[in-house]
Amino acid sequence: MSICFLNGTFQPLADARISPLDRGFLFGDGGYEVIPVYSRRPFRLAQHLERLAHTLDAIRLPNPHAPSEWSGIINEIIARNPWADQSVYLQVSRGCGDGRNHAFPVPIRPTVFLMSDELVTPPAEQLARGVAAVSAADFRWLRCDLKSTALLANCLLRQGAIDSGCVETVLFRDGFLTEGAASNIVIVRDGTMLAPPKSHLMLPGITYDVVLELAAQHGLPYQVREILEDEVRTADEVWMTSSTKEVLAITTLDGLAVGNGTPGPVARRMYDWYQDFKNTVMRSG
């Protein structure tokens, strides 16, 4: 049985309970992180905790733990669950107030919840063929750089992909690429990798950072700049990147082939570089 952490106590996930007055339940008032774990080692934990701190600071929610305390809780969750490779979900809400009131409660007593599941990355067949995606207008709020638990817009956009038999929804705002409903999006044109710049309109992905670092390390030409919707639709390659999808080629967009309809050579190289990096950094020793 999966073991979770709730407000200072490790317990079976099936036994965990929170109040219906918790603001995470009532308002989606909180922040979260998803941390991949390889061979029981959390991946880029410091960067995940920095992003969590950024979210909590921006929504004026006191961070309930110092980085060393978070590290201890996360490593204990990893140790108490059975999988070598895991996906740790961490959530902090603003806790309970006196009834349903939009104003912040005084004092604020955050609800801290962590759980873990087996980390499942894309199967070999999916990597070989790539996946299908649809596109949609990005109608989310204007602070997409915050990893907020209020994800209804993302859920609706992602469900649009599922309804069409696809894996992801590629989002455009005012004629420019932002990201995916649950991933960052990168494209390749004429051998150059293009990534949209970090801004309030996209989540600063940890895997996104790794991909840019690997491009620089291996001499792959790349640019970080605004990307027109037409550039995406006529790209040689389109990828999605995330903690669970890692580097996954999108080979059809809105029913039309991306490039020749198969994962391109740059995507295959980046996937290999990512696996080498992951295995060297996370599985060695």
Q: Please, are residues 78 and 40 in contact by the beta-carbon 8 Å criterion?
A: yes
Measured CA to CA, the distance from residue 28 to residue 110 in angstroms comes to 13
Q: Please, are residues 146 and 55 in contact by the beta-carbon 8 Å criterion?
A: yes
Measured CA to CA, the distance from residue 100 to residue 22 in angstroms comes to 9
Enclosing H/E stretch for 253: strand 246-253
Measured CA to CA, the distance from residue 185 to residue 194 in angstroms comes to 9
Q: CA-based angle 197:132:137, to the nearest 5?
A: 50
Instruction: Quote the tokens at residue 253.
Output: 């967009």
Can 147 be counted among the known catalytic residues?
Answer: yes
What are the helix (H) ranges across 81-205?
124-129, 152-163
- Write down the catalytic residue from 147, 198, 245, 278: 147
Amino acid at 147: K
Query: Closest Cα to residue 194, out of 167, 161, 229, 164?
Result: 229
- The number of angstroms, rounded, from the C-alpha of 151 to the middle of its chain's C-alpha atoms is 12
Provide the annotated active-site residues: 147
